[in-house]
Amino acid sequence: MTKREDALDYHARGRPGKIAVVPTKPLTNQRDLSLAYSPGVAEPCLEIKRDPDLAYTYTAKGNLVAVVTNGTAVLGLGNIGAIAGKPVMEGKGNLFKQFADIDVFDIEVGSENPDDVIKFCQLLEPTVGGINLEDIRAPDCFYIEETLRKTMHIPVFHDDQHGTAIISGAALLNALEIVEKAIEDVIVVFSGAGAAAISTAEHYVRLGVRREHILMCDRQGVIYNGRTGDMDPYKARFQTKTKARTIADALVGADVLVGLSVAGAVTGEMIAKMAPRPVVFALANPVPEILPDEVRAVRADAIIATGRSDYPNQVNNVLGFPFIFRGALDVRATEINEEMKMAATRALALLAKQDVPDSVASLYGLQQVQFGPDYLIPYPFDPRVLLWIAPAVAWAAVASGAANDFVELDAYRERLESRLGRARSVMRGVINRASSNPKRVVYPEGEEPKIIRAAQIAVDEGMAHPILLGNRAAIERAASQMNASLDEIEIEDPASSPRRDAYAHFMWAKRQRKGMSLEEARRRLYNGNYFGSCMVARGDADALVSGVNLHYPETIRPALEVIGAHPKSGLVSGMYMLVFEKHVVFCADTTVTIDPTAEQLAQIAYAASRVTRNFGIEPRIAMLSFSNFGSVRHPEAEKVARAVQLLRQRDPSLIVDGEMQADTAFDTEILQRDYPFSALKSQANVLIFPNLSAGNIAYKLLDHLGGATAIGPILVGMSRPVHVLERGADVQDIVNMTAVAVVDAQGRSQPAEPAPARRTPANDIGPTVYSRL
């Protein structure tokens, strides 16, 4: 299939187009209908008539943006008309929603008269919270935006002008830092003098570039003092006293080129004559003014950015408009002013200097990403952009007097994280709890770069005091290669630690009647997991996190031998937290006990309930089987029913029932209609599986096919906190598990668990303990 056919099929298949209106309230019965429409809808109408600001409370206005065009300058296609521009506007709406959870009406105005567009937008003010102008030709776009900003009290933003300015401005700041040039000294040449070029030049002046150091070129050449042809008041701002008449003249000795024109407008010969370490932003799409390979052929010292995703440093407007509007809407800003644009630029520039998560780098097929000539600005799919840009814009609106609402930044970032998905919201709460009382967390795989980066983040978040196990020189070398700081991170080498002898005797005392000699204990301490387990068991660390490069048994075996199961429970189990769009489900046992007894199932459920409460969620437990409350007479089903009885005896306050099938656990209609006697009245959020096969298979299917985000495995039932990572875990997974481990350690000051209904033997390495499948 050709690219053309692929693009057409993408837009046509299934439901035509790229956006839809999705209801946010239920409409399933007559009562809902009477509330959504007549007569109930009259009540919010009357309230809004009384106080128009209540439209932000009772309607979608506060999260709704109109994307408005008249189709006079669509992409590189020119004046193709309003209806032909609709696919672009729908695409813009899709980006608003996907990147910042903003709802959009795309509106194509059938008039090339700028006054018609102005009047139309003014009449929209009661409907939307903001207006994004798009693909309107110059100079009409300047006149339209200026008029609307003066006459309207909601944000109006022409992305073609300001988006490129804001994002390339961040790239410029970082590029000049790398080449060690002062912004007030550089000579900047623009290829192109349209809306984007003029707005970008003005933004650069506000960043510190001297206006007299900007040479702007259009089709007729350099815009110099006294030039008369093809001029307008907006171009006239950049008339320069210069002898240069062509772009080739202008580029001699220039420090920066910003291309916002057409493919092929610049040649290698022109680039060769620029100043040392030139900065080349060739931003024409889909083909830039000059390709990066052509630049490098003549100037290996150049720093290059384009508008394309197949080259480094993509200047993509999606890094700006969704997050700028998000911040503006959330404080009910009356405009998007220069202070807000500047805040977005500086936030983007600063974010590029932060460590890049593996999950982001892997999206672009990269192993490691760090600030430098090939990474000037963040990637569009970096979820941190929302968390940096929107708060910066919101706070700038507040500080500049453009906001009607105030936001407290920490609470606002938490709200933004919840927009990125329930998983980030849940984990943010755990991280906040961890930060309130950080604990010492030992990482046996201390030489692993992912562990080092996660440890640095844990320090930055203030949630842990990391201890890295490994060779000090190797750890310091790895940290240096990735520009990671080891400040406030302890390093302990098991091979030379002064604790070795004491730990060997401690481990020998625990294992001497299970075949371990003192010499064997000494040898095993070269293994970081044995050494780290001894640190936790002896109180030299509060928790252990390991497993990024190991199979499950290699991590859990040392912990079970040295630390063991909690004496009150006698059972270790594993659970996952699965985070969906609208709910969270805990699954156990997914990693440890292959075929649990009824007593063990009751203990697994009890331990899972405690962990669930630790996450601030009240557990509703479903004990799963292939049978519903005795519908099938079989020992497997009876085992689960017996476990329910034991768990109720142990803790009558728990909401638990079973045995039940999985659909029964989630369908309240089935529960109320067929099993009104069930203690479970609403959807279960803790699922206890009858055996390891069921639990392991189910959580992986939900993770990979059900759209859930899996957090875990969370090891429960250990005498002290030990948590095992998935092999190959990402940095963010390690950070999440560190937070879980710290919260677990915080809870160890609480009274010990009560004894189970029937004591089961402590798990050791034996027939019931194996790796995750």
Whether 338 shows a pLDDT value over 60: the answer reads yes
Q: What pLDDT does 106 receive?
A: 95
d(CA 641, CA 637): 6
CA–CA distance, 230 with 139 (Å, rounded to integer): 12
As a whole number, mean pLDDT of residues 64-83 equals 92
- 76-80, 331-335, 508-512, 580-584: lowest mean pLDDT where? 580-584
**Burial class, 241, CB count within 10 angstroms (exposed 0-12 / middle 13-18 / buried 19+):** exposed
37 in catalytic set: yes
Is the pLDDT at 600 greater than 70? The verdict is: yes
What is the distance between the alpha carbons of residues 416 and 180, in angstroms, rounded to a whole number?
A: 35
Does the pLDDT at position 760 exceed 60?
no
Could you tell me the pLDDT band of residue 769, with boundaries at 50, 70 and 90?
very low
Q: Which residue would you say has higher pLDDT here, 704 or 81?
A: 81
- Judge whether residue 75 has pLDDT over 90: no
Tens digit of each residue's pLDDT (9 = 90 or more) over 242-269: 999 999 999 999 999 999 999 999 999 9
Bigger pLDDT: 763 vs 699: 699
At residue 216, the 3 state secondary structure works out as: strand
Q: Tell whether the model's pLDDT for residue 613 goes beyond 90.
A: no
Compute the average pLDDT of residues 612-618: 79
Write out the DSSP string of 51-119. -GGGHHHHSSGGGEEEEEE-SSSBTTTBS--TGGGHHHHHHHHHHHHHHH--EEEEEE-S---HHHHHH
Of 88-102, 527-541, 550-564, 743-757, where does mean pLDDT reach its minimum? 743-757
Q: Are the beta carbons of 656 and 623 closer than 8 angstroms?
A: yes
List of residues 6+ apart from 194 with CB closer than 8 A: 138, 260, 261
Question: Can you give the pLDDT at residue 765?
Answer: 29
Is pLDDT at 663 greater than 70 in this prediction?
yes
184 band by pLDDT with thresholds 50, 70 and 90: very high
In the predicted model, is pLDDT for residue 754 greater than 60?
A: no
What are the residues whose beta carbons fall under 8 Å from the beta carbon of 727, sequence distance 6 or more? 547, 548, 549, 550, 551, 552
Cα dihedral 507, 512, 518, 524, rounded to 10, equals: -50
The rounded distance, in Å, linking the Cα atoms of 121 and 131 is 8
The label of the residue with tokens 């199932």 reads 601
- DSSP three-state, residue 543: strand
Residues 338, 13: Cα–Cα separation, whole Å:
42
Pick from 192, 194, 68: nearest CA to 137: 194
Cα pseudo-dihedral 440, 441, 444, 449, rounded to 10: -110
What pLDDT score was predicted for residue 770?
A: 29
With bands split at pLDDT 50, 70 and 90, how would you rate the model's confidence at 712? confident
Nearest residue to 156 via CA among 164, 167, 169, 144: 144
Average pLDDT on 742-760 reads 54
Rg (C-alpha) for the chain, rounded Å, is: 31
Mean pLDDT throughout 79-92? 94
CA separation for the pair 658, 463 (Å, rounded): 38
User: Pick the catalytic residue: 3, 10, 86, 92?
Assistant: 92
Q: Are 655 and 682 in contact (CB under 8 A)?
A: no
pLDDT at position 764 is 34
Model confidence band, residue 755 (pLDDT cutoffs 50, 70, 90): very low
Mean pLDDT value across residues 625-638:
93
Question: What would the pLDDT profile of 15-64 be if each residue is shown by its tens digit?
Answer: 898 888 888 888 888 988 999 999 999 999 999 999 999 999 999 999 99
Residue located via tokens 């004496």: 567
- Interhelix angle 195-207/140-151, rounded to 10 degrees, is 60
Yes or no: say if 558 and 769 are a contact pair by the CB < 8 Å rule.
Answer: no
Q: Please, which pLDDT band fits residue 759 given cuts at 50, 70 and 90?
A: very low
pLDDT at 3: 61
User: What value, to the nearest 5°, has the Cα angle with vertex 387 and ends 384 and 388?
Assistant: 90
- Work out the pLDDT band at 118, boundaries 50, 70, 90: very high
Q: Which two tokens stand for residue 112?
A: 């090339």
Provide the percentage of residues in the chain whose pLDDT is more than 90. Answer: 66
Q: Tens digits of per-residue pLDDT, 551-589?
A: 888 888 999 899 988 877 678 899 998 888 767 899 999
What is the average pLDDT score of the chain? 89
pLDDT at position 225 is 92
Strands (E) located in 509-651: 543-546, 573-579, 584-588, 620-624
Q: How confident is the model at residue 757 (pLDDT cuts 50, 70, 90)?
A: very low
What is the predicted pLDDT for the residue at 425?
A: 64
Q: What digits encode the pLDDT tens for the residues 498-555?
A: 999 999 999 999 888 888 899 999 999 999 999 999 999 999 999 999 999 988 888 8
Give the C-alpha separation, 86 to 84, whole Å. 6
Task: Copy the structure tokens of residue 186.
Answer: 């550089």
Q: What are 532's two structure tokens?
A: 């780290």
Cβ neighbors of 640 (< 8 A, separation 6 or more) are 598, 601, 623, 624, 625, 627, 658, 659, 690
Give catalytic status of residue 92 as yes or no.
yes
Interatomic CA distance for residues 58 and 126, integer angstroms: 13
Mean pLDDT, range 397-420, rounded to an integer: 88
CB crowding 194-221: b at 16 or more within 10 Å, else e: bbbbbbbbbbbbebebeeebbbbbbeeb
Q: Convert the pLDDT of each residue in 200-233 to its tens digit.
A: 999 999 999 999 999 999 999 999 998 888 888 8
CA distance 465 to 453: 14
Gap between the Cα atoms of 193 and 260, Å rounded: 8
**One of 10, 37, 58, 526 is an active-site residue; which one?**
37
- Read off the pLDDT of residues 266-321 as tens digits, 9 standing for 90 and up: 999 999 999 999 999 999 888 899 999 999 999 999 999 999 877 889 999 999 99
Rounded to an integer, the average pLDDT of 92-116 is 94
Tokens 């401690």 found at: 506
pLDDT of the residue at 423: 62
Does the structure show a pLDDT above 60 at 83?
yes
For the ranges 46-60, 156-170, 308-322, 635-649, which has the lowest average pLDDT? 308-322
| CA–CA dist 661, 629 (Å, integer) | 9
Inform me whether the pLDDT recorded for 195 exceeds 50. Answer: yes
- Per residue in 367-384, pLDDT (tens digit) is 678 899 999 999 888 888
Taking 3-state DSSP, the helix, strand and coil percentages for the chain, each rounded to the nearest 5, stand at 45, 15, 40
Give me the helix-helix angle, 422-436 and 409-420, nearest 10°: 140
Strand residues in 433-523 grouped as ranges (E): 439-443, 464-469, 490-492
- In this model, does residue 2 exceed pLDDT 50? no
